[in-house]
């Protein structure tokens, strides 16, 4: 077999490994993430702008909403981030959309009513997509570490070999 076809075979092998890992990770995250979310009407108790400094990306502002909701006759409260932005003017404009007394749909995990989300699936699809997209990075990191370990072992073997070959 020519060198070209061996390289093609190696690339296809690693592509199959990466795609297989992406599939497995996607299925695992999707099945482990809670899937029963109930829609409830929540009421804004208060909202404020949260200012945070985030690494190299600079400042980030967010709208922090304190809300109350009821499930089965029991009242709950939650604090959640309604918006994150790098623009202070956008945060100011968005704050006006979250006045006290406003009602909005909130999604509550059926088995844990204190776990809330603004998304109907609780963010499950986003978490699954992020995990799948980060899988090639993890596979590449594992392959790189494996490469380094093999290289270090090979150097140790060369140094410890008392009979390096014919002279």
pLDDT of 75 reads: 94
**Taking the chain (167 residues) in consecutive chunks of 10 residues, what is each chunk's mean pLDDT?**
88 90 90 85 92 71 91 91 85 89 92 88 86 90 91 83 62
Confidence at residue 53, expressed as pLDDT on a 0 to 100 scale: 61
pTM of the model: 0.66
Q: How far is CA 16 from CA 7, 13, 19, in A?
A: 14, 5, 5
The 10s digit of each residue's pLDDT in 93-106 is 888 899 999 999 99
Based on the domain organization, do 143 and 69 belong to the same domain? Answer: no
Residue 161 lies in a domain: no
Instruction: Assess whether 67 and 142 both reside in one domain.
Output: no
Determine if residue 105 is left, alpha or beta; phi over 0 gives left, psi from -120 to 50 gives alpha, anything else beta: beta
- Together in a domain, 15 and 79: no
Judge if 48 and 116 occupy the same domain: yes
Q: Give the strand order in the sheet containing 58-71.
A: 74-85, 58-71, 37-54, 103-109, 112-117
DSSP 8-state code for residue 119: S
Together in a domain, 42 and 107: yes
Give the 3-state secondary structure of residue 97: coil
Per-residue confidence (pLDDT) for residue 165, from 0 to 100: 59
Any idea which residue has 């994150």 for tokens?
Answer: 84
Do 26 and 93 reside in the same domain of the chain? Answer: no
Count structural domains, the chain.
2
100 in the same domain as 50: yes
CATH code, domain carrying 108: 2.60.510
Q: What angle do CA 59, 61, 64 make, to 5 degrees?
A: 150
pLDDT at 167: 55
Question: Do 9 and 73 have their domain in common?
Answer: no
- Provide the residue range defining the domain that includes 75: 37-122
Q: Are residues 74 and 51 in the same domain?
A: yes
3-class DSSP state of 103:
strand
Query: Residue 157: its pLDDT value, please?
Result: 81
């Amino acid at each position: 077999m020519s060198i070209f076809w061996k390289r093609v075979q190696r690339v296809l092998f690693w592509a199959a490994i990466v795609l297989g890992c992406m599939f497995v990770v996607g299925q695992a995250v999707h099945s482990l993430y809670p899937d029963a979310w109930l829609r409830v009407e929540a009421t804004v108790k208060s909202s404020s702008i949260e200012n945070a400094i985030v690494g190299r990306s600079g400042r980030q502002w967010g709208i922090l909403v304190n809300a109350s909701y009821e499930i089965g006759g029991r009242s709950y409260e939650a604090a959640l981030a309604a918006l994150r932005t790098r623009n202070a003017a956008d945060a100011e404009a968005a704050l006006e959309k979250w006045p006290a007394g406003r009602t909005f749909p909130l999604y509550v995990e059926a088995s844990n009513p204190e776990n809330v989300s603004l998304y109907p699936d609780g963010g499950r699809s986003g978490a699954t997509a992020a995990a799948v997209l980060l899988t090639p990075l993890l596979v590449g990191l594992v392959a790189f570490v494996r490469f380094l370990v093999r290289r270090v072992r090979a150097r140790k073997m060369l140094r410890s070999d008392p009979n390096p070959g014919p002279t």
